[in-house]
Amino acid sequence: MTRWSEFWKIFKEKKLGIIGIIILSCFVILAVFAPLLAPYDPSVRVAAPFLAPSARHLLGTNDIGNDILSELIFGTRISLLIGVIAAFLSISIGLLIGLIAGYYGGIIDSVLMRIVDLILVIPFLPLMIVLAAYLGPSFWNIIIVISILSWVRPARVIRSQVLTLKTKAFVESARSLGATTRRILFTHIMPGVIPLALAQFVLASSYAILVEASLSFLGLGDPFQKSWGTILYYAQARGAFLTSSWIWWILPPGFLTTLLVLGFTFTGYSLEEILNPRLRRR
Q: Which of 28, 93, 127, 163: binder of another protein (CB under 8 A)?
A: 127
Task: Between 113 and 190, name the residue whose CB sits nearer to another protein.
Answer: 113
Q: Is there binding between residue 124 and another protein (CB under 8 A)?
A: yes
Q: Is there binding between residue 110 and another protein (CB under 8 A)?
A: no
Q: Which of 122, 168, 170, 224: binder of another protein (CB under 8 A)?
A: 122
Q: Is there binding between residue 101 and another protein (CB under 8 A)?
A: no
Distance in Å, CB of 242 to another protein, minimum: 5
Q: Is there binding between residue 214 and another protein (CB under 8 A)?
A: yes
Part of the chain binding another protein (CB under 8 A), chosen from 90-98, 130-138, 174-182, 189-197: 130-138
Q: Is there binding between residue 265 and another protein (CB under 8 A)?
A: yes
Q: Is there binding between residue 129 and another protein (CB under 8 A)?
A: yes
Q: Is there binding between residue 5 and another protein (CB under 8 A)?
A: yes
How many Å apart are CA 123 and CA 149, to the nearest integer?
A: 10
How many Å apart are CA 243 and CA 162, to the nearest integer?
A: 55
How many Å apart are CA 217 and CA 211, to the nearest integer?
A: 10
Task: Between 173 and 243, name the residue whose CB sits nearer to another protein.
Answer: 243
Cα-trace Rg, the chain: 22
For 234, what's the count of Cα atoms within 13 Å in the CB-facing half-sphere? 21
Q: Is there binding between residue 53 and another protein (CB under 8 A)?
A: no
Task: Between 103 and 264, name the residue whose CB sits nearer to another protein.
Answer: 264
Task: Between 108 and 251, name the residue whose CB sits nearer to another protein.
Answer: 251
Q: Which of 36, 55, 106, 134: binder of another protein (CB under 8 A)?
A: 134
Task: Between 104 and 124, name the residue whose CB sits nearer to another protein.
Answer: 124
How many Å apart are CA 248 and CA 253, to the nearest integer?
A: 9
Task: Between 79 and 225, name the residue whose CB sits nearer to another protein.
Answer: 79
Task: Between 136 and 178, name the residue whose CB sits nearer to another protein.
Answer: 136
Q: Which of 95, 213, 230, 272: binder of another protein (CB under 8 A)?
A: 213
DSSP letter string, the chain: --HHHHHHHHHHHHHHHHHHHHHHHHHHHHHHTHHHH-SS-TTS--S-TTPPP-SSSTT-B-TTS-BHHHHHHHHHHHHHHHHHHHHHHHHHHHHHHHHHHHHH-HHHHHHHHHHHHHHHHS-HHHHHHHHHHHH-S-HHHHHHHHHHHHTHHHHHHHHHHHHHHHTSHHHHHHHHTT--HHHIIIIIIHHHHHHHHHHHHHHHHHHHHHHHHHHIIIIIS-TTS--HHHHHHHHHHTTGGGSTTHHHHTHHHHHHHHHHHHHHHHHHHHHHHHH-HHHHH-
Q: Is there binding between residue 250 and another protein (CB under 8 A)?
A: yes
Binding site for another protein (CB under 8 A): 1, 5, 8-9, 12, 16, 114, 117-118, 121-127, 129-131, 133-134, 206, 210, 213-214, 217-220, 229, 232, 235-236, 240-243, 246, 250-251, 253-254, 257-259, 261-262, 265-266, 269, 282
